[in-house]
């Protein structure tokens, strides 16, 4: 679905921002970059800042007008630093991502970013079907354009992953969580030692026992960690007796 997502940068002044945007996109598996009348492109600066995403910069499509850049898109989403009072639908990035990916399953979707200083004009916004607003500090709301592209691409990528994040992690047996029985056995071992030490004479000793049990259960040691803890206890008991 991300193959159908197109990032459109309108009248970008600083080519370094184009490079940073390309990197932000590639990090999030978004690869289609359109540049509407960039001020200074191609340039060394855009390639340097792109780092390993220079392929996205090299393959960027340059157009004269925003209309050309979005002509074949089924959904065009404009970004706005301001929460406008006009009559667009303004989404948060979260719900924007869900909408965009829905459409992108079948057709190209453009997300349009304006000039560094002034954003999109009303004429450009009028070409958009919806708006997205990245929530920001009201006292300092002007995001760097590459940072805004980072947030939007992150939201898109995040939503493609839903429910698949932790699979396929290979974990060694000894790095797996200890079983309840194993933790319990360590706790027994510890309590025996504390009895030997007369550590639990106090009237609240049951409470201490229980707190330690809760601690180790909550801590969820791995098998390897539990082995170290057992070893330490065994060495201590040997020393004392």
Per-residue CA distances from 15 to 19, 70, 187 (Å): 7, 21, 61
188 is a site residue for a second copy (CB under 8 A): no
117 is a site residue for a second copy (CB under 8 A): no
d(CA 202, CA 188): 18
Binding string, 22-61, against a second copy, x = CB under 8 A?
A: -xx-xxxx---------------------xxx--------
- Judge whether 132 and 93 are in contact, CB under 8 Å: yes
Q: How far is the CB of 106 from a second copy (least distance, A)?
A: 19
- Judge whether 208 and 202 are in contact, CB under 8 Å: yes
Residue nearer to a second copy on the CB measure, 65 or 98: 98
Residue nearer to a second copy on the CB measure, 175 or 192: 175
According to DSSP, the β-strands at 5-10 and 130-132 are unpaired
143 is a site residue for a second copy (CB under 8 A): yes
Residue nearer to a second copy on the CB measure, 39 or 142: 142
* Strand order across the 109-113 sheet: 61-63, 32-36, 5-10, 109-113, 75-79, 130-132, 90-91
218 is a site residue for a second copy (CB under 8 A): yes
213 is a site residue for a second copy (CB under 8 A): no
Q: Around Cβ 159, how many Cβ atoms within 10 Å?
A: 19
For Cα atoms 209, 212, 217, give the angle at the middle one, nearest 5 degrees. Answer: 125
Sites of contact with a second copy (CB under 8 A): 20, 23-24, 26-29, 51-53, 83, 85-87, 90, 92-94, 134-137, 139-144, 146-147, 150-151, 154, 157-158, 161, 165-166, 169-172, 175, 194, 197, 199, 208, 211-212, 214-216, 218-222, 224-225, 228-229, 231-232, 235-236, 239-240
């Amino acid at each position: 679905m991300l193959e159908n997502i197109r990032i459109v940068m309108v009248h970008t002044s600083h080519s370094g921002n184009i490079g940073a945007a390309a990197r932000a996109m590639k990090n999030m598996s978004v690869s289609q970059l359109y540049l509407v009348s960039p001020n200074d492109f191609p340039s060394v600066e855009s390639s340097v800042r792109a780092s390993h995403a220079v392929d996205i910069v090299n393959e960027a499509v340059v157009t004269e007008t925003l209309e050309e850049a979005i002509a074949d898109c089924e959904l065009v989403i404009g970004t706005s630093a301001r929460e406008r009072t006009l009559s667009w639908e303004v989404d948060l990035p979260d719900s924007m991502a869900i909408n965009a990916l829905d459409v992108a399953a079948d057709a190209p979707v453009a997300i349009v970013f304006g000039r560094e200083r002034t954003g999109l004009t009303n004429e450009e916004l009028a070409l958009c079907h919806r708006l997205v607003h990245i929530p920001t500090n009201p006292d300092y709301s002007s995001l760097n354009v590459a940072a805004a592209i980072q947030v939007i691409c992150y939201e898109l990528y995040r939503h493609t992953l839903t429910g698949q994040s932790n699979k396929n992690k290979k974990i060694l047996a000894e790095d797996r969580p200890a079983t309840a029985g194993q933790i319990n056995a360590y706790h027994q071992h510890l309590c025996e030692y504390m009895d030997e030490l007369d550590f639990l004479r106090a009237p609240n000793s049951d409470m201490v026992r229980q707190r330690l049990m809760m601690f180790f259960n909550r801590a969820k040691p791995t098998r390897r960690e539990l082995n170290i803890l057992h070893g330490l206890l065994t060495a201590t008991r040997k020393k004392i007796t």
